[in-house]
A = this chain, B = another copy of it.
């Protein structure tokens, strides 16, 4: 992939900047403005200045509440009346269940059988009704279609939805508002909702910022899609990064092709190392999917070895990292 996109035109796509601003106004009273944390230890390892946007500390434990709240509170009374259907490996599920409860409507959630127990418990705690399915992208879609027919509810797709992407964009928007002079932003990629939102949220605030997706090598469809220029699928994956097992949709693929500078693949071992390092050094609980976003920066040689844009000699790169969530099963840690 030849990286560092030369031309980027903002405003001609959906969701546009106005959609993102409206999403932010709609959700801000209901969600946390999450802190941006720093760590000298991790800065040393990365040989860069890192700014962590802590969506692991967000309501429901992930950024997903941003998109879900925006989508569900965008619905008319008539649209919302019969409730919401979605499919999700966990965090979007909990977010939809929570936002639907705030709106006072039911939520039916399709979850893969291999979703973490803690995430299923979270969905139930918000009153969501779970239907389990095989852990494949197609099984999810089928189960959701069946529920839609049975309930008359409305679908809120986890990422192939402009309202969702506009909501997820608000995390990067807040990060850029707090640290305006970032050189680059790193975010994990799965279906591409967060990374698409990150592209649009960053671009709306400032041009010239590098945008990098981070993906488990065991679920590398976004990497293959951007390299080949054609949308690829990961039909099934058992990566420990349970939030990153989905594949891009046409809508997110289009946005990522336009804005993403590169995708970095990380091994399962690198994910566990990054997760443990963040727990130990930053004292915050990140789930494996969050750790994916910082894992490439913690390799030998740090940021300099990733071939991302250079700064003037003598000044460190300033890199934003979006920690997507903090939902882990404490009884089942990988260390």
Which residues of A does B touch, CB under 8 Å? Answer: 32, 35, 37-38, 40, 56-57, 59, 61, 118, 276, 279-280, 282-286, 326-327, 330-331, 333, 335
Contacts and interface: CB of A to CB of B under 8 A. Distances in A.
A283 B284 contact: yes
Nearest to A335: B330
A283 B330 contact: no
10 contacts: A35-B37, A40-B59, A57-B284, A276-B330, A279-B330, A280-B330, A283-B286, A283-B326, A285-B285, A330-B335
B285 A279 contact: yes
A102 B331 CA distance: 39
A30 to B, nearest CB: 11
Task: Please tell me how many copies of the chain the complex holds.
Answer: 2
Contacts of A57: 37, 282-284
Contact of A285 (B37, B61, B283): B283
Top-7 shortest CB links A-B: A283-B326, A35-B35, A283-B285, A56-B283, A284-B284, A57-B283, A61-B283
A96 B132 CA distance: 53
A37 B40 CA distance: 21
Contacts of A61: 283
A38 B32 CA distance: 9
A335 B284 CA distance: 17
A277 to B, nearest CB: 11
A172 to B, nearest CB: 19
A118 B284 CA distance: 16
Nearest to A37: B57
A333 B282 CA distance: 17
Contacts of A37: 35, 57
A283 B287 CA distance: 9
Nearest to A125: B41
A139 to B, nearest CB: 29
A331 B283 CA distance: 14
Contacts of A59: 40
Contacts of A326: 283
Nearest to A285: B283
A118 B276 CA distance: 13
A275 to B, nearest CB: 10
A38 B35 CA distance: 12
Contacts of A286: 283
